[in-house]
Chain A
Amino acid sequence: MKLLEYQAKDIFRNYGILTPEEQLAEDPSQAVKIGEDLGFPLVVKAQVPVGGRGKAGGVKLVKDVKELENSVKEIFGLNIKGCIVDKVLISEAIPYEGEYYLSFTLDRSRRLPLIIGSQAGGIDIEEISRTKPEKIEKVEYDFILGIKDYDLRRLFNKVFVNIPNKSSLFSDFSELIKKLVLIYYNEDATLVEINPLVISNNKFIALDAKLLIDDNALFLHPDTKSLRDKIGDETLQEKMARELGLTYVSLDGDIACIVNGAGLAMATMDLVKYWGGEPANFLDIGGSSNPEKTLNAFKIILTNNKIRAILVNIFGGITRCDDIAKGLLEAIKSLNINLPMSVRLIGTNDEIAKELLQNAGISVFSSMDEAVKDIVKRIKEA
């Protein structure tokens, strides 16, 4: 789960990391009031769960109330990569020189967390590593020793290479790193990022903040979990699925897919594409064969008004095909479904399931390719 900037900064401040004076505004008049209280100059920053908001006009520097009013008007309601801005952060504009990058993150490949620092902050780390890899320094975290001092000095000297007389900053830097590590472990993060990190009046300040929390660990952090609804990174269907305990990812196409298992669900959407169709979603109904889950899956896909056909692909193991068939028939009856549908069922109790469905006039396939070809053909003929 990726937190919004203001949510991440609230957590940063709890750990003593400095940020500019700032407050969240959820409507334009509140934004202006906060601005008048804070004093000028200020920065207005759209709070959206996607990158690239600066380029999209979601960040503005303002010098007085007039400019603030205008910017706020422009930014609220702005569409940034499909996200409509409904929250802005009003932030004190502080003077500083130089922008740096600092993060503590899981390195999946090395199977340990790393500190990553760069003298080129303010741009995406992805872009830094592509265009200026020589400006990046990495330090591995050791599970027994933590961060070694000599590594920390190497990182410090590399990141702040352009600052003369920087030695007075070292102890603050070392403290800052400790705070990042603490946040990472205490909050079960997989990324704690400050970008840009700036130095203002000899103090390290986090101008922006990014925090990725491990979804698997949210059960340990009810407070963080409750922030989810404010983030706005989910479509209606994704939110519904999460609340019902299923996994759904929205895509752009018109063929709704209902599959058991994540790998098979990915392979199914790839196969739809292979045969010339466009999948509307990824949906994994999981391993149990509770007919309720099948019914819920249909409830979710039907809220997407772009869908024109339905593909069901079940490989029965623990999941019993006859249970899926019963859930499916119940869904057709109670939800009044009249879209073209192709069903592929194989594995445990598939014969019973086929009979149930064929009696109801639904085409059932044993092969995944045949089911996909059938539905793609029918959608093209329709």
Chain B
Amino acid sequence: MSILVNSESKIIVQGITGRDGSFHTHQMLSYGSKVVAGVTPGKGGTEIFGIPIFDTMKEAVKNTQANVSIIFVPERFAADSIVESADSGINLIVCITEGIPVNQMLKISKYLSINTNSRLIGPNCPGLISPGQCKVGIMPAQIFKEGNVGIVSRSGTLTYEVVYNLTKAGFGESTCIGIGGDQIVGTSFIDVLSLFKDDPQTEKIVLIGEIGGDEEEKAAEYIKNNISKRVVAFIAGRNAPPEKRMGHAGAVILQGKGTAESKVKAFEEAGVKVADRPSDIPELLK
């Protein structure tokens, strides 16, 4: 078992002919992920790596029965790509694109919840991987190993750092999900935690948060009331100055809200161990 994706997942790449889209399609295929189609408007009828390209998501889904899509479309068009994917009946939409305006995301997350059954992961995220089964994302696959730790994170490279430390210590992962670094993302910490809670393969959970917003505080409350599996947290940005955006659009302390201190305190009060350093995580997980 794993959550959200497995070896049966059929994937469409939106923006498959772009620089990033084509590079990562190749990487996903090499990992064994079933990429069944690509969509680039105007390039319908052609192929890339032997995969058919369609002009629209509707055609691509109709011809391939895909259930997952991954978006590499530039920020100007990415919001529309999410909606197109949802309207075509895709269950799981992974949006890698960074830089979608937050008010567009507000409307889209509302639209998805009212009009569709689709789950969005991201935007501005590295995607997800269930080692040994399927990768729908941009993470370096070689650092992952199949195992029993579920990982959920707002970050990309920091997640790789944590995975690297876990793998070195002999752990492996059930599923690793980057939920994205924007202010408004489709899938929250709590959404993923509730999936890990019911996943038999996942025995331990690592949550990687950062400054900004109150998703970590909400997650702490959820863990306290619902999760008996061991959870270890890490919070990045303990020394970030207020009112400054630390790279991610969502990583900002505004009007005193969203500090690392508040998040660490919330986890500690919920009985969740918080690692001071990424390299402390494996020891706390034992």
> Which residues in A have some Cβ–Cβ distance to B below 8 Å?
2, 106, 108-109, 111-113, 124-126, 143, 184-185, 188, 190, 214-217, 219-220, 247, 249, 251, 259-267, 269-271, 273-274, 279, 282, 284, 287, 315-318, 346-348, 367-369
27 A–B contacts from the bound complex (CB under 8 Å): A108-B183, A109-B218, A112-B110, A113-B106, A126-B255, A126-B256, A143-B106, A184-B103, A188-B103, A216-B101, A219-B76, A249-B246, A261-B157, A263-B154, A263-B157, A264-B155, A266-B240, A266-B247, A266-B251, A267-B158, A267-B234, A269-B240, A270-B237, A273-B238, A316-B140, A317-B139, A368-B278
Given A217-B101, A220-B101, A274-B276, CB of A262 within 8 Å of CB of B75: no
Using A264-B157, A368-B161 as known contacts, list a sample of 5 further A-B pairs with CB atoms less than 8 Å apart, ordered by residue number in A. A216-B75, A262-B156, A263-B157, A264-B156, A315-B160
A262 in contact with B247 (CB, 8 Å): yes
Query: Which residues of chain B are near A126, meaning CB under 8 Å?
Result: 255-256
Query: Which residues of chain B are near A346, meaning CB under 8 Å?
Result: 164
Q: Which B53-81 residues have a C-beta within 8 angstroms of A?
A: 75-76
A261 in contact with B246 (CB, 8 Å): no
When A and B form their complex, which 7 residue pairs have the shortest distance between CB atoms, in order from nearest?
Answer: A263-B155, A262-B247, A261-B157, A263-B158, A217-B101, A317-B140, A266-B236
B241 within 8 A of A: yes
Set B76, B155, B247, B278: member contacting A247, Cβ < 8 A: B247
Given A266-B236, A267-B236, A270-B237, CB of A315 within 8 Å of CB of B255: no
Q: How far is the CB of A64 from chain B (nearest CB, A)?
A: 38
Return the CB mask of B154-185 against A: 1 if under 8 Å, else 0. Answer: 11111111001000000000000000011110
With both beta carbons as reference points, the residue of chain B lying nearest to A238 in the complex is identified as B244
B86 within 8 A of A: no
B138 in contact with A111 (CB, 8 Å): no
With both beta carbons as reference points, the residue of chain B lying nearest to A272 in the complex is identified as B239
Indicate the member of A126, A247, A266 with the most B CB atoms within 10 Å: A266
Given A217-B102, A251-B241, A273-B238, CB of A265 within 8 Å of CB of B256: no
Q: How far is the CB of A249 from chain B (nearest CB, A)?
A: 5
B119 within 8 A of A: no
Q: Which B80-121 residues have a C-beta within 8 angstroms of A?
A: 99-104, 106-107, 109-110
A261 in contact with B140 (CB, 8 Å): no
Set B159, B214, B243, B249: member contacting A215, Cβ < 8 A: B249
Query: Which residues of chain B are near A185, meaning CB under 8 Å?
Result: 103
A111 in contact with B279 (CB, 8 Å): no
Report the number of A-B residue pairs with Cβ-Cβ less than 8 Å: 157
Query: Which residues of chain A are near B243, meaning CB under 8 Å?
Result: 2
B273 within 8 A of A: no
Q: How far is the CB of A304 from chain B (nearest CB, A)?
A: 15
The size bracket of the interface on B is 35 or more
B219 within 8 A of A: no
Indicate the member of A143, A190, A261 with the most B CB atoms within 10 Å: A261
B245 within 8 A of A: yes
A282 in contact with B236 (CB, 8 Å): no
B286 within 8 A of A: no
Query: Which residues of chain B are near A249, meaning CB under 8 Å?
Result: 240-241, 244-246
Instruction: Give the distance in Å from the alpha carbon of A262 to the alpha carbon of B158 in the complex.
Output: 8
Query: Which residues of chain A are near B149, meaning CB under 8 Å?
Result: none
Query: Which residues of chain A are near B277, meaning CB under 8 Å?
Result: 271, 274, 369
Instruction: Give the distance in Å from the alpha carbon of A339 to the alpha carbon of B159 in the complex.
Output: 30
A265 in contact with B239 (CB, 8 Å): no
A217 in contact with B103 (CB, 8 Å): yes
With both beta carbons as reference points, the residue of chain B lying nearest to A187 in the complex is identified as B103
Query: Which residues of chain B are near A318, meaning CB under 8 Å?
Result: 23, 138, 140
